[in-house]
Structure 1
Amino acid sequence: MKWVPEDMDMFLKSREYIDTVVIPLYPISFGDDAKQSANMTEFINLLATQLERQFKGRLILMPGFIYFKSKEHNKGLSDLIEWENRLKAEDFKHIFYVTADSDWKMVEQQLSGSLIWLPALPLEHMEEKQKNSILLDQVKQLLNLFTQKWHEE
């Protein structure tokens, strides 16, 4: 389910079955790496949308967590931990972060949720059909990770 009014109706009716949240992490930069940052955001946005389609009814796709890319992740990390605490208080058992920014790997152990890092694929020159095919392949690989985490309960 997405964070949209139509899906929230379904969420409220079946709340007890939805125990998983996916949070895309979107870096913002206006420096030399602005294009790379935009590529990461596009890739993760499309990937998260495909994940939501695969698991509709089992998870909720949160609006992306947007942060300014810098050498220090302290502010973004503390904000993300605050999100985590609120989501756990709402009885979400599984929190997945999806990112193409490898900097999050350095602070992964400070998060109680599962960080999924994937290198961003350059999608800008691909046709829509090719993009979808590549993204579906990526999602298929993630299916096992999600089901494994769910079975660890």
Structure 2
Amino acid sequence: MKWVPQDIETYLNAKEYVDTAVVPLCSVSMGGEMKQSAAAVEFITLLTGYLERQFTGRLLLFPSFTYLNSKNSESTLNDLKAWEASLTKGEFKHIFYITSEIDWRSQEKELNGTVIWLPSIPLEHMNDSQKMAVIDSQVKQLLGLFTQKWHEIE
């Protein structure tokens, strides 16, 4: 389910079945790194959207947690921890953070959720069918990880 009114209504009526929150972590850079930042956001957005379609009814895809790359990382981490506390209070048993920013891997121990780092694949020169083939391949790799995490707690 996505963060849109119709899906949220469905979630509220069936939240005992939706135990997983997915939060894309998207860094925004200015200047010379702007294009690379935009490419990473495109990749993560397409990937999490496709992932949501695979697991509709089991997970809720939240809007991206977007932050400035130049911002103090401790401040950004504290902001994300506030999100996490709210998600946990919202009764999500599983929280997955999906990002192309490798720095989050070193921050994972500070979080209760699972950080999934995937290097961004530049999609700008691909047609739509090529993009979806790449995204499909990436999501297939994630399916096992999600299933494994779900079985750990159940």
TM-score (norm 1): 0.97
**Cα distance, 1:130 vs structure 2:** 0.3
Superimposed CA distance per residue, residues 71-105 of structure 1 (whole angstroms, 9 cap, x where no aligned partner): 74111110000100111111111000000011111
Superposition map of 1:102-141 within 5 A:
102-141=102-141
Pair 1:37-2:37 in alignment: yes
1: CA distance between counterparts of 2:31 and 2:101?
15
In structure 1, the residue matched to 2:96 is 96
RMSD (Å) for aligned C-alpha atoms: 1.0
Q: How many residue pairs are counted as aligned between the two chains?
A: 153
The residue number in structure 2 matching 1:61 is: 61
Q: Residues of 1 paired with 2:53 and 2:3: CA distance?
A: 13
Q: Percent identity at matched positions?
A: 54
Aligned equivalents of 1:71, 1:91: Cα separation in 2: 30
Instruction: Kindly report structure 1 stretches of 4+ aligned residues shifted beyond 2 Å.
Output: none
- Per the normalisation by structure 2, the TM-score is 0.96
* SS in structure 1 at match of 2:130: helix
In structure 2, runs of 5+ residues without a counterpart are none
Alignment-mate amino acid for residue 3 of structure 1: W
What runs of 5+ residues in structure 1 fail to find an aligned partner? none
